[in-house]
Amino acid sequence: MLYYALVFFVVALIAGVLGFGGIAGASASIAQFLFFLFLILFVISLVMQVVRRP
């Protein structure tokens, strides 16, 4: 999932450089959403590992 966030970030950067503001904004929003989703899932998995340890 972090891979897709990076892909959308790169697409947003390229679109921003080329002047496609709408596409750049949408790609940046998607990248930000995927990054925070990845971060939340990562924290949940860390908490679950701590809770499961005897």
Q: Tens digit of pLDDT for each residue in 4-54?
A: 888 888 888 888 888 887 888 888 888 889 889 999 999 999 999 999 987
Q: What are 41-45's contacts with CB under 8 Å, separation 24+? A: 41/1
Neighbours of 29 (CB within 10 A): 12
Neighbours of 17 (CB within 10 A): 9
pLDDT at residue number 44:
94
